[in-house]
Chain A
Amino acid sequence: MYHKSIIYLIVSSMIYSSTLFAFEFGVPNFMKETKNAFSKSSTINTFNKICKDKVDLSDPSINIDKQWGVMCKIVRESDTCKEVKEEDRVDCNSKQSENEIDFTSWNFISNCGSGIWKSIEEMWDFLKKGATWAWNFSTDSDKRSASLQKGGEMYNMAMGYLAVEYEKERAKSKYDKMVLFPDSRASFETSRKLLSKMFSKIGDIISTEFYQLGCYNKELRAERTCKVVNDILFPPVFAIGLLMKGPKILKNTGRFAKYYSKNKSVKKSRALVKAQSKLDGLSKPVGVGKALKRIKEIEEVLKNGSRSEKLAALDKLKKLKIKKSTLALTSKNKQNQEIVKLYNNISKLIENTADTVVRKRAVESIASFTKSNLKNGPKNSIMGMKSLNVFEDIYLSQKYPDSLRKIAHEQIVFTRDQFKLGDISPFENKKIFFAKQNRAKIEAGIRHERVLSVSKTHLNKVKNSPEYINVVGKLGRSDQDLGYELMALIELKNPLKSKAEIIREFNKKTSSCPVK
């Protein structure tokens, strides 16, 4: 009896400790996060940079898992990777291990970032600046200058809470010898939300600026990514500058340093806000009256102008920044109301254009205008979705009554554009983004379902049909993913290409990628 319980105890403690080990070193999460083919430091990301004009990776017919080898070879042989030694390059025969590193994953960053701060004080100084940044950028652009200082004050108020929550977290790992850097770990855990916001943004920047990372093999990629992360996080002032001013700082650090060293706090805030506006491509702020006049002019051009005039007018709208004004849709101020009315008119005008280029430019301009001038701008920027609905109607009633796949594709492309334009907050992590994208796909599917007048019973009938099962099988996608299921349903209406055909087409497309 005793013998049995001792064995049980030993086995259970072994299981427990191995779980703990795995947890601490991030194995389960790490593995979970490897599934995403768009990992920011991945070879796919590099491929996307090289071939984006030739191949659209959001095209549902592309199966990244199956075509990884081709993409990898293109990356390996590309000009982008020519400076990387042959033996250091990504191994295209080992997809699973080569594509697994995502430095935006929490585990990677925390393991890599642990230990870069020599003391708690140093780490907290970084957090203070980070918190100020997060606070600043969740505030409307017009209030940024004031909020920069306020961010610092808020941090002072929050410090006590950070201290007790830090101690609680520290106590958890007190007796755990598996934790390598308990102080850093506790700080990381306490500020997880803040840091994940920062790392997500930094990850975006790194994936754009250091896309060559995908050229390297797994070990070197991890090492180099860590180096980039550490270089960026330390000194903290650089990381914050990067967050506030964007990747340009990487090329222009001298100018940035000036803002921090020579100007006093208020001047510094002003200088940063000014620099930010410049980077946002905004023109000098104008008064409400002047803005009203300009928007009226833009409206006129959009009504009667030629295509090129319309595009130029939309560029003007994009750069328009109204002085000391955060327009609210519900404002009682007459001039504000007039601007909002004009803004709505412009939205309607754009909804009714079937010119894709004009429409896309319009979405971009309106997103930018909304972001810099309207209260809660990015959240309320639903313009794109509206125009898509109308656009869809145009498709349905006039031009493409049968081509449902095109609408679905449009929806996906549109969602991607929205993300690029900042409609989906850059603070949100990529999981949320993908969830949103999936939701959009589902919505697209539901729309098609409505368009097809497919009742739920009929939908189930279709889903259970051997034809549908065959389609899902051919696509090689999980039938749990409703978005893809509905996409497959659409494919039913448009004869589906065979897997071999899809691969052939893909290879043909990628053969024109600029390798040399």
Chain B
Amino acid sequence: MKKNYYVIITVNLFLLLTSFSFASSNYSWKSVRKNKVFESWHLEGVKDVYISKTVTKVKTKKIKKLLKSKKYIKSLNKNKSPFLELFGVNNWKMNYSKWKTKNLLEVSGTYVDKDSHLVSFYEFHQFKNNKIVKYLYVQPKNSNLKQTVFRKFINQQLKKK
């Protein structure tokens, strides 16, 4: 009987140590897909945490009009929710939006995915000559991950030409 206790205690200690080491380790983003339509990364070892990158080509004239425009933010908000529902993204709500620089917009909020889980999202819209590059980060709302986990990675991506 005593032997059994020793086994349980040893297993618990092992689990505790591995979880500490996991928590303290650096997260790494693994590229999971790259094609003509999108590129995506997964935070290794963490369920349902992803970043996607999509590129939309827009006329240069139109891009100039969109920069720092409130209208663009409004257009994001308007009609987006019912449209996203077609893809299992329900109750999409924008809680925060700000032009971080002249050509970088950050938007964040929540939505409910098709498995009824509340998800937090962060969108980064980078305006380049004739295209808008969009990064989307998602994580379960109840996740304890800190923002540095994705900000560092996205900043690196944004700096790329």
Identify the A interface with B (CB < 8 A): 119-121, 124, 131, 134-135, 138, 150, 154-165, 167-168, 171, 189-194, 197
Interface size class of B (residues with CB under 8 A): 35 or more
* Residue pair A164, B88 in contact (C-beta under 8 Å): no
Q: How far is the CB of B152 from chain A (nearest CB, A)?
A: 19
Q: Which of A138, A157, A160, A193 has the most CB of B within 10 A?
A: A160
Who on chain A is nearest to B132 by CB? Answer: A156
- The answer, among A154, A165, A171, for a CB contact under 8 Å with B89, is A165
Q: How far is the CB of A120 from chain B (nearest CB, A)?
A: 6
Alpha-carbon distance between A150 and B136 when the two chains are bound, in angstroms: 21
- The answer, among B48, B54, B88, B114, for a CB contact under 8 Å with A160, is B54
* Residue pair B80, A163 in contact (C-beta under 8 Å): no
Alpha-carbon distance between A154 and B76 when the two chains are bound, in angstroms: 9
B87 interface residue (CB < 8 Å to A) = yes
Identify the B interface with A (CB < 8 A): 32-33, 35-38, 40, 42, 47-48, 50-54, 56, 76, 79-80, 82-89, 111, 113-114, 121, 123, 134-136, 138
What would be 24 A-B contacts, judged by CB atoms less than 8 Å apart? A120-B37, A131-B87, A134-B86, A158-B80, A158-B84, A158-B87, A160-B38, A160-B135, A161-B84, A161-B121, A163-B50, A164-B40, A164-B136, A164-B138, A165-B88, A165-B114, A167-B33, A167-B50, A168-B50, A171-B42, A171-B47, A171-B48, A190-B88, A194-B86
* Residue pair A191, B87 in contact (C-beta under 8 Å): yes
A156 / chain B contacts, CB cutoff of 8 Å = 54, 56
B86 / chain A contacts, CB cutoff of 8 Å = 131, 134, 158, 191, 193-194, 197
A119 / chain B contacts, CB cutoff of 8 Å = 35
Q: How far is the CB of A354 from chain B (nearest CB, A)?
A: 42
Q: How far is the CB of B146 from chain A (nearest CB, A)?
A: 19
B82 / chain A contacts, CB cutoff of 8 Å = 138
Q: How far is the CB of A163 from chain B (nearest CB, A)?
A: 4
A190 / chain B contacts, CB cutoff of 8 Å = 87-88, 114
Who on chain A is nearest to B58 by CB? Answer: A156
A135 / chain B contacts, CB cutoff of 8 Å = 83
- The answer, among A120, A167, A191, for a CB contact under 8 Å with B52, is A167
Q: A120-B35, A160-B134 are in contact. Are A165 and B87 (CB under 8 A)?
A: yes
Alpha-carbon distance between A200 and B32 when the two chains are bound, in angstroms: 33
A193 / chain B contacts, CB cutoff of 8 Å = 85-88
